[in-house]
Structure 1
């Protein structure tokens, strides 16, 4: 599971609000991760003062030697 940070920025490109999604737990796949991220992006884009919304994805890669 990747970690996502969705950030709403103002007209000066300064961050106003950010949401961290660190896990979407499902026994069987019910929703796609990207659908949840896009829903949060849509929500934040409707918040007063938010001009731009950016989502960043972080993945941890573990290598066993």
Structure 2
């Protein structure tokens, strides 16, 4: 399961707000994860003062030796 961080930045490229999505749980796939993340990105982009929005995806990889 991936974790996402969506950050809204102002004109000076300073972070104004960030949203952490630690998981999107579904019994059966109803929506694509990226569609949910893009919806949040679109919402953050509409916040007054936000000039750019960046979404980062983090995935944990476990290796058994």
Instruction: Judge same fold: TM > 0.5, yes or no.
Output: yes
Q: How far apart are 1:8 and its partner, in Å? A: 0.2
| Aligned residue pairs, count | 65
TM-score, length of structure 1 as denominator length: 0.98
Q: 1:41 aligns to what SS in structure 2?
A: helix
TM-score, length of structure 2 as denominator length: 0.98
Q: Quick one: distance in 2 between partners of 1:31 and 1:15?
A: 29
RMSD: 0.4
Q: How does 1:17-32 map to 2 (within 5 A)?
A: 17-32=17-32
Structure 1 runs (4+) greater than 2 angstroms displaced: none
Structure 2: stretches of 5+ with no match in the other structure: none
Q: Quick one: distance in 1 between partners of 2:40 and 2:24?
A: 13
